[in-house]
Structure 1
């Protein structure tokens, strides 16, 4: 790993949270850059994203994912960010990171996001309908081992899906075990945050990875990134098209490790990061605050008068 002089900047695209019309609607019509990119997305997909998002009741539906993706790239253009030395994408944020780094042209990336969302929807409608992914904080790694041992003793399946900070994790498990798991989190002084359905980032979803690879990603020609991408799975640098392919597919079956991204960015000399998109988490994590000066570029940022 080549270490550069301190002072570099990085663009980071966060994981996707619940995406609703109220979060993006005004930005989509008020900001000129957003209008331009969403018009391209409308043409690619054959429907008006704004209208579909307005009537959608699913926070993670295809249209919500497309909206989050397009808005992130519109915000990069609006902000005038340039000169960054690295980029990263956390969980779903890797789609925006891939497009930003030139792995795919914008139009193709929009289609990839939509087609992948449909593939995931169909898969989880049939498979693993009883599995959820639960996030929680204020639980150390040692205490987490104790909590997971209880699940193992009960012969319950589980996997750690995300390592977010020293005391924050996401675990995938059977829904029937969730109530007891949350109770034990509280008993050890932890705090439960939210539960995701469909679940994410677990080795048990190997069939989904294979289906996306075969039915979706095989139809695209990926390109070498124009700037290094830091993998959210192991902190490695993604610098080739083949590595980008494995990184995209790995997001289905490998846990997300934000501290690994932080360590690599810091070792690469990055001292400032711009978190682009709706972020309620990354900029607040201790490992982020301890290592970087952070700027957040969110939809509401583009709606405020420039100073």
Structure 2
């Protein structure tokens, strides 16, 4: 069984997708469609930078989706059908890429939603008020306890991502994150590292962004997925449009349950996971979550031919 996964923020790199766009007209058409939807040449930033422009949340989110869908369109031009996959899943913004791949949302609407999402998440919290940190080598229960003990009224921290392989990410008010980091180190964490992010994603501080996304999603036509989506906040499959809207809103403030999502797919019989788009982050995480999984990152023309050869 096969699952397609789609990367989240942090996987971007200047020049990503260029080789695919040069090799496949179908892939170039995706970048053109995203440019048209946004009314600007985001593709120029994707291919040529500068890096600080691509890294901006408002650009990185639609850019990563564009690359993922360009790769997928190239795969389809070589005969691959999305319905060959048993599940799709995406890490944070990658969930939007997964939904576009599963034909629930058009590429143009997905680009516009991700631009709104990036703007809303950046605007939700003043710079410096929030923070995120990676906690390495500490059990989830212990991190939960550290977050609870570090939280005070209007000064809170929570687990934002369970990435698997002993890696958890916490997010919230800067002071609470700092206290939780110290508590995690005292509890035996191997490392507690502040992350270079511009906002405390997937925390209660993102509530204004969730409200904005609720309005934006209500205005978009969403169709049932042609392949079940294992969604971030449930780590369970959904396919109905109203379930999609609800969970995309909850995802803004809720936890990315990535390890549980991968474990769910493995329990259903998935033994092969293809990461479609830029980078290899999810491929590495899959192997750490379940060593029986065969992970493949597909981001360049040669990757496509190698992956499709696996299917016979």
TM range (shorter): 0.7 to 0.9
SS of residue paired to 1:211: helix
Match of 1:34 in 2: 27
Q: After TM superposition, list the pairs within 5 Å mapping 1:134-213 onto structure 2.
A: 134-145=133-144, 147-148=146-147, 151-152=150-151, 156-165=155-164, 167-179=166-178, 181-182=180-181, 185-186=184-185, 188-193=188-193, 195=195, 196-213=197-214
Which deviations, in whole Å up to 9, do the C-alpha atoms of 1:54-103 show, x marking residues without a partner? 24624133222221111001112223443111111121100101101111
C-alpha contact (below 8 Å) 2:35/2:42 kept by paired residues: yes
| Range 282-291 or range 79-88, more displaced | 282-291
C-alpha contact (below 8 Å) 1:99/1:105 kept by paired residues: yes
Q: Cα distance 1:40–1:202, how it changes in 2: closer, same or farther (>3 A)?
A: same
Which deviations, in whole Å up to 9, do the C-alpha atoms of 1:24-73 show, x marking residues without a partner? 26436533243221112122222111334424624133222221111001
Task: Note the residue ranges of structure 2 that are not aligned, 5 or more in a row.
Answer: 307-312
The alpha-carbon deviation at position 10 of structure 1 amounts to 0.9
Match of 1:245 in 2: 245
Which deviations, in whole Å up to 9, do the C-alpha atoms of 1:224-257 show, x marking residues without a partner? 1111111121222112111111121111121111
Q: Cα distance 1:272–1:303, how it changes in 2: closer, same or farther (>3 A)?
A: closer
Q: Give the structure, 1 or 2, with the largest relative contact order (CA under 8 Å, sep 6 or more).
A: 1
Runs of 4 or more consecutive aligned structure 1 residues displaced over 4 Å after TM superposition? 152-156, 177-187, 303-307
The one of 52, 56, 62 equivalent to 1:66 is: 62
TM-score (normalizing by structure 2): 0.82
C-alpha contact (below 8 Å) 1:159/1:202 kept by paired residues: yes
The alpha-carbon deviation at position 266 of structure 1 amounts to 2.2
C-alpha contact (below 8 Å) 1:133/1:197 kept by paired residues: no
Separation (CA, whole Å) in 2 of partners of 1:30 and 1:57: 24
SS of residue paired to 1:99: helix
The alpha-carbon deviation at position 146 of structure 1 amounts to 5.3
Match of 2:310 in 1: none
Q: After TM superposition, list the pairs within 5 Å mapping 1:1-307 onto structure 2.
A: 8-17=1-10, 19-22=12-15, 24=16, 26-27=18-19, 30-32=22-24, 33-53=26-46, 54-55=49-50, 57-58=52-53, 59-80=55-76, 81-82=80-81, 83-125=84-126, 129-145=128-144, 147-148=146-147, 151-152=150-151, 156-165=155-164, 167-179=166-178, 181-182=180-181, 185-186=184-185, 188-193=188-193, 195=195, 196-214=197-215, 216-285=216-285, 287-298=288-299, 301-302=300-301
Q: Cα distance 1:145–1:49, how it changes in 2: closer, same or farther (>3 A)?
A: closer
Q: Cα distance 1:136–1:34, how it changes in 2: closer, same or farther (>3 A)?
A: farther
Cα RMSD after superposing both structures: 2.8
The alpha-carbon deviation at position 114 of structure 1 amounts to 1.9
Separation (CA, whole Å) in 1 of partners of 2:251 and 2:277: 19
Separation (CA, whole Å) in 1 of partners of 2:154 and 2:122: 28
SS of residue paired to 1:269: coil
C-alpha contact (below 8 Å) 2:228/2:237 kept by paired residues: yes
| Range 201-210 or range 179-188, more displaced | 179-188
